[in-house]
Homo-oligomer: A and B are copies of this chain.
Amino acid sequence: MTSPDPQIQDLQSQAGEAAGFLKQLANEKRLLILCRLAMGEATVGELCEVADLSQSAMSQHLAKMRSEKLVTGRKDGLQVHYSIADPRCVGILHHLKSQFCTAADALEGKA
């Protein structure tokens, strides 16, 4: 169904690292968080609303992504403004968009 592609062999040696990276994104809530952050900085409170999560659950997701350097927080008074720290996040977000948001999907409400 797909033609052989020897180029991919290089990836095998990085499979562990790549899998670790993907694990962070393989969660609907974290994906929503990153989508939001791709549009610009956001506070924890804002992210809670976007992802429909409790403050605690959100904080744990952010801690996980912070520990992997995917996002960073900028403290400003009582609030913390988060943003994407790893450009690979943006890259994969775009790739996912190209595969999951096709023209057909965009017209899903058509007659």
| A contact set with B: CB distance below 8 Å | 1-2, 4-12, 14-19, 21-23, 25-28, 30-32, 35-36, 38-40, 50, 72, 83-85, 87-97, 99-101, 105-106
Contacts and interface: CB of A to CB of B under 8 A. Distances in A.
A1 B90 CA distance: 11
A99 B31 CA distance: 18
B10 A32 contact: no
A79 to B, nearest CB: 18
25 contacts: A2-B89, A4-B39, A4-B40, A8-B35, A8-B94, A8-B97, A9-B39, A10-B97, A11-B31, A11-B35, A11-B100, A12-B35, A12-B50, A14-B96, A14-B100, A15-B28, A17-B100, A18-B31, A18-B96, A22-B22, A22-B96, A23-B26, A88-B99, A91-B95, A91-B99
